[in-house]
Structure 1
Amino acid sequence: MLDDFMIRAALAGIGTALAAAPLGCFVVWRRMAYFGDATAHAAILGVALALALEMPIFGGVLVAALAMGLTVSALSGHGFATDTLLGVLAHSALAFGLVAVSFLSGVRVDLMGYLFGDILAVSVADLAVIWGGAAAILILISRRWSALLTSTVSPDLAIASGIDPRRAQYVLTLALALTIAIAIKVVGALLISALLVIPAATARSLARSPESMAMLAAGLGSLTTLGGLALSYQLDTPTGPSIVCVAAVLFVLSLTAAAARR
């Protein structure tokens, strides 16, 4: 467990959890889980774009996720129910991404790694990207915390306070795209939403304020990552799914604790 690759994996998981925690709270409060799914599924299309243009994977995933988020925001309320629109875009982006990857000749692509993560293969350069992205996300969310929280509670109250709810939505879209770009190496495109939603949902039943919920979600996300790594190491199971399994167990335990307290 103390080998270099395990230490890098643990640092990568903690950095991703710190970035996903506050954003995951807003995803839970705003009921944006499907929005997160659609944006995450676009990551595979971003991988194909990056490999085709010989650019960093982080850049391709960021561009694709941001484009998906802005597309969903622009098309919402134009004749389609939001869940229908998200379903169409999410599965279409994933399918086009997988097809696009199959057309890349002379490029070796580990699709399983991009779909389910490959945290054990994280390099020092990947760590720099993950922690740099996490720092940018935390700074962005902390500076806009009050505006984001007010827009989440009530868009009308936000407008009365001089806050533009649309701008708040764009800030969340940017933060979500950054989170997906740094998390794809850790848990993969198919499991990113779980890392966003489950720790925040677990913290919701235990926290007494929005700020405490965000901090508790960060702690639970870090614990989830370390627990998933240990489980994967001991049982020789896939690391990304193991992390999500630990998160699900903690969620069930939080519900049990909350029911017992009531």
Structure 2
Amino acid sequence: MSAAAAAFAPGTVAVITGAAGGIGLAAARRFAREGMRTCLVDRERDALDAAVATIPGDTVGIACDVSDRQAVEALAADVAARFGAVSVLMNNAGVGGGGDTLSDRDGWDRLLGVNLFGVLNGVQAFVPAMIAHGGPALVINTGSKQGITQPPGDTAYNVSKAAVKALTEGLAHTLRTQTGDRVAAHLLVPGFTWTGMTARGRGDQPPGAWSPDQVVDFMMAGIAAGDFYLICPDNETTPEQDRLRIAWAAGDLIENRPALSRWHPDHAAAFAAYMEDGR
């Protein structure tokens, strides 16, 4: 087990944003089962209260808009006053639907405010104290495969998650330099997961999707092993398929193919053959 993974000890404190549902709520429940004291953070007060009611033990819900830097700084002060030092910070809050490159700027501002600056706000408000308190600690930032392979469609979302990947890689280096392996950062990259954001009004979980609990189980196993990249498969995408898609995306730069060649008409057949050969 990595040194930072000892942060999950009974009695330690976890802060989870986007915790009123989905992966955030599943993580909060898991942390509570580990005996941790949990602080659930979300923008929606009613949903937050309902989530807190499902978690036994020392649990509190604090409403906060993570895109508001001052609000997150106040959150950090409130958590410190109530609980003391934070050992696990999970920056998980996220939204979709920002739009393509030429879409309305308001959608971009809304999405980047939560998905990117919400993560940065959490890191800057909480991590200095996590370093200073001297015990094992870790940060989990929720990214996306869309931030790595960049599928066309919601470009704003892709940009936000690509930025979270870069931010978390840089944070991991900074923490390693300053603390060795005592404080660590991890990038959680879910696969197709059945959450409120992905359901989009559909009633039943599709066969291809993982549940949030499966994602959290995978996350915890990867952290225990010391993995930085926690890239989750699902019921329709294997780890090998993920590796092939990531390698193809990197190959666009190396081989000077057109941008997003996987979806380019001149390269689509080559990509399909590449995936078939790699299986």
TM-score by length of 2: 0.29
Which structure: larger Rg? 2
Higher RCO (CA < 8 A, seq sep 6+): 1
More helix by share: 1
Larger strand proportion of the pair: 2
